[in-house]
């Protein structure tokens, strides 16, 4: 298995066939964290706040492999882990898309809203450079 560089940050992967997208966060736990200090955790955006509503599902290992937590060892999360790995590989190569046997996907790193500087994670907002509120104004 070739190593992949999975960077810390926010990553949005859109299935271009279904139009659905998912946002992931990768970050390193603080050294004084109660849970897994110093470890890197991959998490899925599961709520309306794209800076905090993330649910972790695995550890990101140094070689770019994702070790799913026991309760997340399901086909669903295996698919998500694969998406994060393929997306990171695309970014590493300077590309913004990848394909699997099932579909074509686009990959975007988060950006900041040009007006209010909030984190943007949806494909629409990333394309506009503005969040939904600022786009209305
Ligand atoms: Zn804004």
pLDDT at residue 43, rounded to an integer: 98
CA 134 to ligand 1 centroid distance, Å: 4
Taking the CA atoms of 55, 60, 66 and 71 in sequence, report the sign of the dihedral they define: negative
Mean pLDDT value across residues 90-113: 95
pTM: 0.94
Q: How remote is the CA of residue 118 from the centroid of ligand 1, in Å?
A: 6
pLDDT confidence band for 1 (50 / 70 / 90): low
Q: Cβ(66)–Cβ(60) under 8 Å?
A: yes
* Average pLDDT value over all residues in the chain: 95
CB-count burial class (<10 Å; 0-12, 13-18, 19+) for 30: exposed
pLDDT digits (tens, 9 = 90+) for 114-130: 999 999 999 999 999 99
> For residue 28, what pLDDT is reported?
97
How many other C-beta atoms can be found within 10 angstroms of the C-beta atom of residue 35? Answer: 8
**Residue 3 pLDDT > 90, yes or no?**
no
Q: Ligand 1: distance of its center to the CA of 86 in Å? A: 29
């Amino acid at each position: 298995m070739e190593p992949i560089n999975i960077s810390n940050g926010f990553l949005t992967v859109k299935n271009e066939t279904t139009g659905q997208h998912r946002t992931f966060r990768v970050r390193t736990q603080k050294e004084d964290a109660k849970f897994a200090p110093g470890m890197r955790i991959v998490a899925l955006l599961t709520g309306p706040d794209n800076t905090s509503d993330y649910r972790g599902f695995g550890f990101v290992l140094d070689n770019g492999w994702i070790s799913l937590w026991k309760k997340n060892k399901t086909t669903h999360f295996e698919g998500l882990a694969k998406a994060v790995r393929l997306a990171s590989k695309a970014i590493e190569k300077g590309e913004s898309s990848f394909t699997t046997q099932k579909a074509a996907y686009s990959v975007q790193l988060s950006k900041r809203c040009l007006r209010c500087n909030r984190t943007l994670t949806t494909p629409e907002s990333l394309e506009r450079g503005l969040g939904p509120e600022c786009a209305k104004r």
